[in-house]
Structure 1
């Protein structure tokens, strides 16, 4: 019987450089008779053995500016550059110095460079387009911007971020560029997952078409009406995150029940907005901010919401009155409040699942008679509360001296906060009712681990320019005296008291 000798199995190399190491040896390389390369001879590799799609993949990892430079040196990179999938244009990514003396010349060069790059791009394979366009805005600049978008916004694009920046930093609302919605009607809208527009007019109509992949929509300083936004939402059934801010043409926002996947809703600073109505059943995070005006919020289908952040007049009163029933599953509640009445109402309703409570009391819109101790209403209603963070932007009144009469410090009957572990009070001062609230917490929180009292104005991030830091510094010794006299002795041995005092510069 003849025996057949089999070749030994070849070991498969799976390393980072395996593809290069396993390439066929080039013809004509000088070698010994046994096939080994001659010593001292350097191997040269032209890249021709790599498939085209691999070159495209390698090029996709290069920053935009480096990929454009590499395209000048190699035909392979030039061909790959024409299909670069991630186009991110800003003065920073294009190497322009924002501190340049002649801003208009820098803007002209930037626009010229972006136009040159896009004209040399095939428009094929683009996945991401992030474009900052700098004004002034006129018919010529609008035509130019239209042509750029036509090159890059093709079927297959997944992320589109367009920011129209005016000459004055942060100014968007006076621009007059109309986003060409027709670009989203030719199949491009089907693949877009992220759409972020800043500083333009966006006029979607019923003929926009389906945006079946859209999961994140952000509109800021965008001219769009409530009806137009409704057309867009009704065609975006996969939407998960919606952010609308500073869109001053909107009067009414209606979130349809068809948005079953919507989880996060953020609405802020829309000057003409009067009503926000949500029928989406699965929103878990609300972020509603309106300074100086009342907006009616109809959140009847928000029973599953676990997180909400609100900022509007009388937010404390509204939150305590309506949220326990409309959002019974809340776990995190953040409130920025001003223009409140004399105190937060005491009610029997409960936040049965609330674990994190953050309250910011904005002093300059509060009456001097506001009872800060009434915030105990939130504590009494939250049996599962673990963290309470209070920022008291209220100065102590001149007549509010804690040592004049100690009767106000008598113990107030209340609930036991058995799960409360961490309490922080920023801008702590010697205001009577604030000291009483702190003592009340210490007396009724057996599981407390840490109490932080911050009396240092230099640590406060949101101090208004109208605030006088000297007044906060002068209050610091009074606050320290209140802590030593009224609070320190009530801190249980199992808890830590942290007092953040002013730094030496104060």
Structure 2
């Protein structure tokens, strides 16, 4: 689309002055034709957007055909060489017109250099109307002279070269911003969210390899997702409005149980991922009174700390009287915890609790670890409202064998068996996990609870195992 438009633009610029009076009425008629009932526009039966319909109404050989005042704007530009940069800049300035509400720019070059989005693209009319801006694979160097984007409510930057100071300056000019997404913006080492962003509700940060500090003064932030465990300092300021939190870093589980109930008392959804957890989760009197969805990932590529007691995670259940869904990921390549088959000690008897709201529990990477079996039995004995329990012993290994229409092979007694290509460590542990389920858990499952066990098939474990 970009190269063809640029070729046409070169020839059109020669006689643009002569055709200017003809072009302008066509541009003005675009909006009115789209709004008019019974419009003669031809459009596909794919439920396309208003912008797509408008393009089909316009003259196809004009760059202005991409212009749709007050409607969706999406522009994807592929730049193959330095010789096209000047033409592309001209094309952008023509296409991005006052009245635009949504703009998506993906600027790719074959030489892997970042193409810079000029601030001149954001004229007064564009800044006053734009509501959604998405920039990808480019360089953006905003200055204070750019001026405010008063109606911008959604901003997404993906692999954009922009410094922390430049970004802070840009954000201070976006008072209506409600959602901010950052993906792989590797020039930012310090992310500061200014206090002017009183409308900011959702903040997502993923990647950004040089990011070390996050400081937010947005008082009404209610959803924060951070996937960058190298961040050294995290300050979210006022967090009473926080309802959805997702964090990833080392030693996070203990921190979440200790600090979050008091600093974020209104949490409704919490997802925490820790690749290194040495200290057991403490039992404390503080509560997550409104927490309904809890996801805990204790994942490491090789093996998790063998001394960690999975039973200590019951502290989260005791602290969350409104909890409805629990997702626990304990996947590891080699299970080094004490196995339920490894000694003569009996399962611990836990104090009786009542978890009257818990309905769904899924444990991914389920193993024969004794403390994990004890935690599962604790849940079955105390979650009287439980509807379904899923124990996945192969945690998403890639499938290579044929399955039935449902994707699984029924084994009976609530078991589902899948054929997968499994690692050596998993081939040894998964059958033990299945045996532990049959021996210690299956008989404790009430008839009202649907038990689903995802396990390797006999083809994957043809060599058998010993317990």
In the alignment, which of 101, 104, 118 is matched to residue 161 of structure 1? 104
User: Structure 1 505/143 Cα, relative in aligned 2: closer, same or farther at 3 Å?
Assistant: farther
What SS does structure 1 have at the residue aligned with 2:379? helix
Residue pairs, 1:5-44, within 5 angstroms: none
1:198 aligns with 2:152: no
State the distance in 1 between where 2:107 and 2:261 align: 41
State the distance in 2 between where 1:418 and 1:52 align: 58
In the alignment, which of 67, 81, 84 is matched to residue 58 of structure 2? 81
User: Structure 1 482/147 Cα, relative in aligned 2: closer, same or farther at 3 Å?
Assistant: same
Structure 2 match to 1:290 = 228
**1:214–1:236 CA contact under 8 A, matched in 2:** yes
Structure 2 match to 1:275 = 213
Structure 1 match to 2:390 = 452
Q: Which moved more, 1:188-197 or 1:124-133?
A: 124-133
**1:286–1:308 CA contact under 8 A, matched in 2:** yes
> Which of the pair has the greater relative contact order for Cα pairs under 8 Å at 6+ separation?
2
User: Structure 1 124/163 Cα, relative in aligned 2: closer, same or farther at 3 Å?
Assistant: closer
1:211 aligns with 2:149: yes
Structure 2 match to 1:129 = 73
1:359 aligns with 2:313: no
Matched positions, count = 400
User: Structure 1 487/416 Cα, relative in aligned 2: closer, same or farther at 3 Å?
Assistant: same
What SS does structure 1 have at the residue aligned with 2:391? strand
1:335 aligns with 2:335: no
1:479 aligns with 2:461: no
**1:162–1:196 CA contact under 8 A, matched in 2:** yes
Structure 2 match to 1:144 = 87
RMSD between aligned residues: 3.0
User: Structure 1 306/137 Cα, relative in aligned 2: closer, same or farther at 3 Å?
Assistant: farther
User: Structure 1 408/198 Cα, relative in aligned 2: closer, same or farther at 3 Å?
Assistant: farther
State the distance in 2 between where 1:374 and 1:144 align: 63
Greater strand share, structure number? 2
**1:383–1:419 CA contact under 8 A, matched in 2:** yes
User: Structure 1 145/488 Cα, relative in aligned 2: closer, same or farther at 3 Å?
Assistant: same
Q: Deviations over 1:352-382 (max 9, x none)?
A: 1111101122122743333332222222221
State the distance in 2 between where 1:393 and 1:408 align: 24
Uncovered stretches (5+) of structure 1, i.e. residues with no partner: 1-50, 68-76, 85-116, 169-173, 462-466
**2:109–2:115 CA contact under 8 A, matched in 1:** no
State the distance in 1 between where 2:429 and 2:40 align: 60
Residue pairs, 1:414-453, within 5 angstroms: 415-453=353-391
Structure 1 match to 2:9 = none
**1:299–1:326 CA contact under 8 A, matched in 2:** no
User: Structure 1 434/399 Cα, relative in aligned 2: closer, same or farther at 3 Å?
Assistant: closer
State the distance in 2 between where 1:60 and 1:322 align: 58
Displacement after TM superposition at 1:79 (Å)? 10
State the distance in 1 between where 2:396 and 2:140 align: 42
State the distance in 2 between where 1:396 and 1:430 align: 12
User: Structure 1 386/475 Cα, relative in aligned 2: closer, same or farther at 3 Å?
Assistant: same
1:502 aligns with 2:456: yes
User: Structure 1 485/234 Cα, relative in aligned 2: closer, same or farther at 3 Å?
Assistant: same
User: Structure 1 136/52 Cα, relative in aligned 2: closer, same or farther at 3 Å?
Assistant: closer
User: Structure 1 287/460 Cα, relative in aligned 2: closer, same or farther at 3 Å?
Assistant: farther
Q: Give the TM-score of the pair, scaled to structure 2.
A: 0.78
Q: Which contiguous aligned blocks of 4+ residues in structure 1 show a shift greater than 6 angstroms?
A: none
